[in-house]
Structure 1
């Protein structure tokens, strides 16, 4: 197998791993909407749910390998400016940032698989992050800036989904016809759902900074539960559940048809 084939395989394994996690988070969100389950609707909750299923141990190790593969793929994109379409500084910095996020995901998933201990829900992580920052001079402003950054990133994801900018990352002509239309729908719905969650989580961080109250910070799970308390909250949460599942399904499509 050539270096290019190894490189592609690592990237595609990462997209499959991401798809599995988003499908499970979508399922948890749906359970919360319909049954008010207490499982966290985030990566920690997804890992715990997977661990309790038949072949869960094998799936967890696949996720570790997939996230590690995605880390290496993203890091390569950041370090090799000669790759097509990846010469811009902004694109390379984005790849570097994603490499760090996937490295954390690989590490925490591996630790959970080996020890059975999760690193905490995204709600707890957000609260701890906010508390630590606010202990320092200017930390309040940093929390607000982080929240504003999440809001801007979420708006970008929503815009990217609605304008279908993600389609340029798929191989030309693959998929085609009706299949391509379905893939584009999955990508649109999935990106919009992720954007809404990012905007919500960013808004909570900004609120925490304004009120100087770290307990106001929320992660993915807390943001989804907050949506559930809004008017027509159950309907909104069900829609978000399907949106997250759609992004999971779109991740599988990327694993097959994305240009690498």
Structure 2
């Protein structure tokens, strides 16, 4: 038993040493910056599409989502080549957050450190999804878009025993994430991910970004809960459907424009983040 524990500790120490070696690579640090810049661009493209949606100018093939933004990049003159760079940047973010989940936030103790490392682990999944999506779009026509993926997830879960409960759990998890984003805005805990402190206009812009993004994600969570209550997968959806729902509310155009500004502000925050990413 003692030998097994010692071997596990030795393996963990080797993993931490490897993580520190990776973080010392200038190429890796450059790719992290590239990934964060493109993450910001993705949010800005979503914001632009949302504005066009609010004003009734959106084309039928435009989708206000991360995958929709990646398709917009594919239509630029650099096309597939640019998307391969984007994919490489997102995969660098996967490594960055995986390293952070392993050895990061050592300045905190107890549950706070565990919570922040778990958040970093969850971000590896998000960035991995975006990296795979960018690579797939760069390789050719995309098989399934973001909105279809949400419906497919709901449909698959609803087909399982206690499916409605499972879809409801997904909805609650998404809502929890949304609340965490808004909470970050008011507690300014996003500074834990930066190697600097934002002040003045940069701080206010960042706070607006986290609130706007949090509200939009919260609507996505609400859609999953709606799908769970009615056992109807078609009522679930991603960011594009959430923004469409916002548009259908009283003063919907103004609500959607406010959300678009918030998502755009988050995109600009990503540029600040790219200049000052905190490494473990």
TM-score normalised to structure 2 length: 0.83
* CA deviation string 1:15-36 (max 9, x = no partner): 1121111111111111111114
Task: Say whether 1:37 aligns with 2:56.
Answer: no
Supply the distance in 1 between the matched residues of 2:22 and 2:173 (Cα, whole angstroms). 39
How far 1:162 sits from its partner (Å)?
2.6
2:105–2:117 CA contact under 8 A, matched in 1: no
> How much has 1:182 moved relative to structure 2?
2.0
Give the aligned CA root-mean-square deviation in angstroms: 2.1
2:33 counterpart residue number: 12
Q: Does residue 243 of the first structure (1) align with residue 243 of the second (2)?
A: no
Aligned 8 A contact 2:80 2:139 in 1? no
The answer to whether the Cα contact below 8 Å between 2:79 and 2:138 also exists between their aligned partners in 1 is: no
* Counterpart for residue 114 of structure 1: 139
Equivalent of 1:201, from 220, 236, 239? 220
For 1:41 and 1:238, the matched residues in 2 are separated by: 13
Give the superposition deviation at 1:11. Answer: 2.6
* Residues 120-152 of structure 1: CA deviation (Å, up to 9, x unaligned): 332211111000011110121010011011112
Distance in 2 (CA, whole Å) between partners of 1:181 and 1:257 is 17
Render the CA deviation track for 1:204-235: whole Å, top value 9, x for unaligned: 11111111111110110000011011111111
Is residue 204–residue 217 contact of structure 1 (8 Å, CA) maintained in 2?
A: yes
* Most deviating of 17-26 and 180-189: 180-189
Instruction: Give the whole-Å Cα distance in 2 for the aligned partners of 1:113 and 1:255.
Output: 24
Q: Against the structure 1 CA distance between its residues 92 and 171, is the aligned structure 2 distance closer, same or farther, given a 3 Å change threshold?
A: closer
Q: 2:273 aligns with which of 244, 248, 254?
A: 254
Say whether residues 1:69 and 2:88 are aligned partners. no
For residues 124-163 of structure 1, what are the structure 2 equivalents within 5 Å? 124-163=148-187
Residue of structure 2 aligned with 1:167, choices 191, 215, 218: 191
TM-score (structure 1 length as normaliser): 0.90
Match of 2:229 among 207, 210, 230: 210
Q: Size of the alignment, in residue pairs?
A: 254
Q: Which consecutive unaligned segments of at least 5 residues does structure 2 have?
A: 1-20
Q: Is the 8 A contact 2:209 2:263 kept in 1?
A: yes
Give CA-to-partner distance per residue, 1:185-207, whole Å, 9 cap, x none: 22111111111011111111111
- Aligned counterpart in structure 2 of residue 96 of structure 1, from 121, 136, 140: 121
Indicate whether 1:231 and 2:253 are aligned. no
The 2-side partners of 1:37 and 1:185 are apart by: 32
Contact 1:40 1:121 in 2 (8 A): no
CA gap of 1:193–1:24, structure 2 versus 1, over 3 A, is: same
Q: Distance in 2 between matches of 1:163 and 1:83?
A: 20
